[in-house]
A = this chain, B = another copy of it.
Amino acid sequence: MFDDVRSEAFQQLHARVAEVARYGAAAAVLGWDQETFMPPKGQPARARQLRALAQLMHQRGTDPQVGKWLAQAEADMRSQGWDPDSDPARFLKVARREYDRATKVPTEWVAEFAQLTSEAKMHWQQARAQKDFTLFAPYLRRIVAMKRDYAAFFAPYDHVYDPLLDAFEPGMKTATVQQLFARLRTEQVALLKAILARPQVDDAFLYRPFPVAQQKAFVRWVLEHMGFDFEAGRLDESAHPFTTGFSVHDVRLTTRYNETDFFGQAFYSSLHEMGHGLYGQGVNPDYEETPLAGGASLGVHESQSRLWENLVGRSRPYLTWLLPHLRQAFPGVLDDVDLDAFYRGVNKVQPSLIRTEADEVTYNLHIMLRLDLEIALLEGSLDVDDLPEVWNRRMEEDLGVRPGNDAEGVLQDIHWAMGGLGYFPTYALGNVMSAQIWQAVRRDLPDLDAQMQAGRFADLLAWLREHIHRYGRKFEPLEVLRKATGQDLQAEPYLDYLRAKYGEIYGL
């Protein structure tokens, strides 16, 4: 679609960007394989391969020639008067942003960081298996130091955390996140307190045995039924569920199976990853291998995964549709569980240690803890060695539970080992956006509940495709949100959603 842009510089830039995107897709395949199928002894060679690709991509992407093409294409755009919201103009805008960011970072840093995080990931896995943070601490110390160097490349900044956050959530500021989080925190803590004063929900039936072979068949059937295209994607297994993609026509999801925790593991993590996957499959295919490919940000991506996992997947209408199918696929297992009990069970609120298993009310509190600790590490007010104790104390203060060991605490997530400081806030942003988007969906699809109850998701998916997915990275996260919802980012829809839903469930 960009072939008719009358700018030689644009076309040369386009070719280079496509070249780098192909290397990026190759690196993504290697990353996917590493988590799904790679035999353990393959790790050192894989780390070297990924380092080589990271270095190559940075070199080819920051080549001064790219800067010249970019400047010339921008001049062509001005002289030819392109519509600033046209695809080619937005192509240049995103390419400019990426080039300016990438050229601030030396290739040596990129290569060293790729190597360090590969090693760190291995040592994190070992540390986690042995429940001993001290095995991982030296790597985290180096990662924090390198991330501090990274922030310095972008000086001056308002907040040392800004450049890190901006890498995952373009345009987002630490101050904005902190303000939002303060508001969420007050309300979610109050809601949690009220819930904990009420009688507990019984969800023991969720942990009955569901044979793994049938779990696999059922999850695949559900995802296919809900709109995920298995001709253009897969669902595999990995220790930590994730989604990646090498093309809009090749999107890979993973999940994990546990016979006695079907819903906590395979079912809801698959719905979650499917949300990412539907976004990935829904981007305008003309954007393949351009700066407009991919999702607008991790926050917008998470809004999609959380929407399908929670706003859809934990809603009463959805469960009304699902329960009979579950009964059919797993004969006898849920015969004594009625819809109301099932709905309350999958929405049980209970402070817990593990973020990925947290309910909707407590989830954001896990994120806030991570944000505060990341900032303290970067600012140097918290030493890496003190992290486990500070983590555990904060868990006790915020959630009233204390990890029994580092694996249940500070070592639970892979993100720091991957070098992803700046990443966690996007999870809470995604939650907030998901409810705001859901409000807009409901306005446009007044009979959505009836549709979901009948197992019809095509209108919902079409709405998301039209208002969000197809744009890819053409618009910035908050632009996407405004276009889809007519409003700026705000906490109220999410808080309203939580209060209404959990107020009803817990009789508040």
Contacts and interface: CB of A to CB of B under 8 A. Distances in A.
A283 to B, nearest CB: 13
Contacts of A247: 42, 44-46
Q: How many copies does the complex hold?
A: 2
Shortest beta-carbon contacts, A-B, top 3? A42-B250, A45-B247, A22-B52
B45 A232 contact: no
Interface string A221-238: 000000001111110100
Contacts of A38: 250
A42 B232 contact: yes
Given A26-B27, A246-B49, A37 B231 contact: no
B30 A49 contact: no
A53 B53 CA distance: 10
A162 interface: no
Contacts of A26: 26-27, 29-30, 49, 52-53
B27 A250 contact: no
A309 interface: no
Nearest to A33: B29
A126 B279 CA distance: 30
Interface in A21-77: 22-23, 25-27, 29-30, 33, 37-42, 44-46, 48-49, 51-53, 56
A288 interface: yes
B22 A53 contact: yes
A275 to B, nearest CB: 18
Nearest to A45: B247
B250 A41 contact: yes
A51 B23 CA distance: 10
Nearest to A289: B48
Given A45-B247, A45-B289, 16 more contacts: A18-B48, A23-B53, A26-B26, A26-B30, A26-B52, A26-B53, A29-B29, A37-B37, A37-B236, A39-B232, A39-B233, A42-B249, A45-B246, A45-B249, A46-B247, A48-B289
A46 B26 CA distance: 9
Contacts of A48: 18, 22, 289
A76 to B, nearest CB: 26
Interface in A184-233: 229-233
Contacts of A289: 45, 48
A22 B49 contact: yes
A19 interface: yes
A26 B53 CA distance: 9
A212 B29 CA distance: 29
15 contacts: A22-B52, A22-B53, A26-B49, A26-B52, A26-B53, A39-B230, A39-B231, A39-B232, A39-B249, A42-B232, A42-B247, A42-B250, A45-B250, A45-B288, A46-B247
A50 B140 CA distance: 35
A41 B250 CA distance: 7
Given A19-B52, A22-B52, A33-B29, A42 B230 contact: no
A37 B233 CA distance: 10
A39 B224 CA distance: 14
B41 A249 contact: yes
Nearest to A236: B37
A438 to B, nearest CB: 30
